[in-house]
Amino acid sequence: MTRSQSLRLLSRPDKWYLGAGDGLIWAPPFPAWHDTPGFWDEAHLLQYAVGPLFTVSFLDHHGDPLPARAHARHWTPATLALDYRLAPGLHVREIRSAPGDRRLVSEWVLENRGRRARVLDVVQWTAVNGESVPGAGVGRSGDALTLVRELRDRKEQTVEVTLRYELSPRASSHAACRSEHSGPGPDFRLTPFHDRWPDGGGLRDEVRLEGINPQGLVYLGLHRRLDLTAGGSARFAASVAIDLLDAPQPEATLRPIASRPSIPAHRTATTAWTAFTRTVPEFRCSDAHFNRYWWYRWYGLRLNRVPAGLGQYRHDTVCEGIGYFHQPISYSAMCHLRELRWAGAPGWGQGVAQTFFERLRPDGSMPGRVYLNHLVQPDFYHADWGGAIGDLLDAHPDAPWLARLYPALERYAQWLVTTRDADGSGMIDVTDQYETGQEYMSRYEAVDPDADRYGWENRLRLKGIDVTLYAWRLFRFLTARAPDAGARTRWSGYAARTGKAITEQMWDPALGMFSDVNPATGGRTRVKAAVCFYPYLTELTGPEHLEGIAAHLFSAAEFWTPFPVPSSSADDPRFNPDAEWKGKRHVCPWNGRVWPMTSSHLVDALARVVRLHRPAWAPQLVHLLRQFVRMMSFNGDPARPNCFEHYHPVSGRGSVYRGIDDYQHSWVNDLLARHVAGLLPQGESGVIVDPLPFGERVELSGVRLAGHEVSVRVADGAYSVRIDGRGAGKGKIGRALELHW
């Protein structure tokens, strides 16, 4: 499927998320009003929920609203189109879009298919928490009304924003006033405007924010009249734009609104999506799931993009997901780095890393989250920074950029050594269940029966196999990229110590599996978790470790469930596929659910084993990746892809109850590019091409690697490669081809 067809490929009737990669998304996890005109359900400006935004009411000659409920919906990554029945003979379509500049636009086409003329009054209005609006918080600016609001996040931090409401063609009347609370929902009859609606129609052209206290609601409205001749039509648009306030002075509400081009917003949004697809490679595959998911993942990355210059973000970066997760989070940054190395230029991926490494605390530790306007959090997450940054540089070598980043990488690595390996064991401490990103597992209870009761308190101590492996990869990266002999010697020493600890102290030869270690006893916990397979990602594992994969990973009684791989072994005493922990369903349990984050690691680990040691296990690898991608769809339908936090290992159903779809907490396109298409970037030296035997027809083109354009085509057990437009080589599946620039 070509770039120009990607919108059609992803179109569907059951989705509603909209965003332009500018920090503002309209993706309410549990929408109550998404089939009601406008944007009444909340949007998110990074971690700040803002809502309701506005609705649109159509009024008859009495000033009473005509019932408006969508009966058909059509979504693409650029637009959401809805059809309504307002009255007999009146056909109405709304097209919602996010055209950029943190704007949400609702465009309308009304067709009067009846035999008589109609007159309708249209009101764009909202009703927001009155305590969030200062006394002078509403102003007139050109043809728009502006509203200053104070938003509050879950950390009780605040930000002031200006919301600019505009009705186009221009409104003929407007009003704003305070009121005590009324009934819920976007019902025009509940507004003060309905009580005051005159016989001739219209609002009172007044802004009155008086009252003995700010409690209750602030109503704001813009109005115009539509005259529809028999057989005629009318168009209008209602929009809101959200800007951060540099200062809270009321004068800021009077800033003029920048002139908007005459191009409809939905066309601007569509053009922007198409332009974005031209910055990433094209992927075509005979597997319908793989084919769609390539473009779906690029949509998710763009939806969750944060542009440089917004708030305290100095670089383009990516949020972990929608809702409360609409902020950059360090645990998922390694996923974004791997996906974004396939973008046409390295800047976006580099920005993901810089967002965190430029925010290190004085002691060298890293914040788990970087918020829009603060760094208030006690959290921290371990992540595979060495592996992910190394992967980015393999695709886009950039020595000057690395030279600037290297000191921060060293500071962070030294913090790990000093604080998380204070006993010099070579193994890294986990100090609470949250900092691995993996809550509610037997692995923590193995060292502390109360581990699941602690918050971000650092009361736990467990030598974690996953975090120790991450540290080893970071030490190895610092060794390989060291600017001088002193740094090389220092980090190679740490790498050797940690590598030895993994292979000697964390490998259990009797169990045939890697394990966490209890630092109080020095013994292995022997708790079987999916992260215990992470060492197979690296050269630390050899032939002597391989039977552990056959005995445990491929065992239906442990990890090889219908949709592999569960986060905890199926024979774990705490195993539960239904997201329950000790009898209660949780939002983020790791005691049996399948997490795409872990699946991404394990596909890579098994692919490495297949390529280097056991080609006979290729069918298991193919099965794992196929089931991984098929799992991330509704009822196995490739036309309805999703990406929830976690899934059921037997049914494959996602955590719909959590409401967090399009969660960028895994890497998929990187797996498709490297294992299905077979492109393995090797930095400045060249590229290895080694597609694995999926039996599909594949074409990956427009890939930029080290300044060169690369494409690969796979069909009928063979492949061919082009570099910079010229044929560069051919090969058979199962035989790698090493190409130099």
**Amino acid symbol at 278:** R
- Contact status, residue 87 vs residue 23, Cβ threshold 8 Å: no
Closest CA to 422 of 458, 452, 393, 456: 458
Locate the DSSP E strands across 231-324: 233-244, 282-285, 305-306, 317-318
What separation in angstroms does the CA of 480 have from each of 403, 428, 469, 489, 736? 13, 21, 16, 10, 24
Cα 234 to chain centroid, rounded: 38
pLDDT on residue 262 = 74
CB atoms within 10 A of CB 659: 16
Going by pLDDT thresholds of 50, 70 and 90, the confidence category of residue 251 is very low
Residue range 583-591: mean pLDDT, rounded: 98
Residue range 106-134: mean pLDDT, rounded: 96
- Contact status, residue 443 vs residue 529, Cβ threshold 8 Å: yes
CA atoms of 698 and 291, how far apart (whole Å): 9
Start-to-end CA distance of the chain, whole Å, equals 29
Rounded to 5°, the CA angle 635-639-640 comes to 50
Closest CA to 281 of 343, 339, 333: 343
**Amino acid symbol at 711:** S
CA atoms of 302 and 239, how far apart (whole Å): 22
Residue range 152-166: mean pLDDT, rounded: 96
- Contact status, residue 565 vs residue 655, Cβ threshold 8 Å: no
667-698 confidence digits (pLDDT tens): 999 999 999 999 999 999 999 999 999 999 99
170-204 confidence digits (pLDDT tens): 999 999 999 999 988 999 999 999 999 998 889 99
Domains, the chain, in order of start with CATH, read 13-273 (2.70.98.40), 421-527 (no CATH), 528-659 (no CATH)
Q: What would the two tokens of residue 696 be? A: 């599909």
Q: Is 685 exposed, middle or buried (0-12, 13-18, 19+ CB in 10 A)?
A: middle
Going by pLDDT thresholds of 50, 70 and 90, the confidence category of residue 376 is confident
Q: What would the two tokens of residue 729 be? A: 């080589």
pLDDT on residue 143 = 85
CA atoms of 68 and 76, how far apart (whole Å): 22
- Contact status, residue 673 vs residue 342, Cβ threshold 8 Å: yes
pLDDT on residue 246 = 62
pLDDT on residue 106 = 98
pLDDT(252) > 70:
no
Closest CA to 222 of 118, 142, 148: 142
Q: How many CA atoms lie within 13 A of 464 on its CB side?
A: 30
pLDDT(248) > 70:
no
At 202, give phi and psi (nearest 5°).
115, 165
What separation in angstroms does the CA of 717 have from each of 1, 154, 608, 695, 734? 21, 53, 20, 7, 9
pLDDT(272) > 50:
yes
pLDDT on residue 250 = 34
pLDDT(297) > 90:
yes
- Contact status, residue 215 vs residue 180, Cβ threshold 8 Å: yes
Residue range 99-115: mean pLDDT, rounded: 96
pLDDT on residue 116 = 93
**Amino acid symbol at 35:** D
421-470 confidence digits (pLDDT tens): 999 999 999 999 999 999 999 999 999 999 999 988 889 999 999 999 99
Going by pLDDT thresholds of 50, 70 and 90, the confidence category of residue 1 is low
pLDDT(240) > 60:
yes
Closest CA to 242 of 81, 82, 126: 126
- Contact status, residue 118 vs residue 234, Cβ threshold 8 Å: no
Q: Is 628 exposed, middle or buried (0-12, 13-18, 19+ CB in 10 A)?
A: buried
Which helix (H) or strand (E) is 173 found in, with range? Answer: strand 173-179
CA atoms of 729 and 608, how far apart (whole Å): 23
Long-range contacts of 480-483 (CB under 8 A, 24+ apart): 480/390, 481/393, 481/402, 481/406, 483/403, 483/406
pLDDT on residue 254 = 30
pLDDT on residue 615 = 97
690-739 confidence digits (pLDDT tens): 999 999 999 999 999 999 999 999 999 999 999 999 999 999 999 999 99
Residue range 490-519: mean pLDDT, rounded: 98
pLDDT on residue 142 = 82
Q: What percent of the chain has pLDDT over 70?
A: 98
Q: How many CA atoms lie within 13 A of 152 on its CB side?
A: 7
pLDDT(648) > 50:
yes
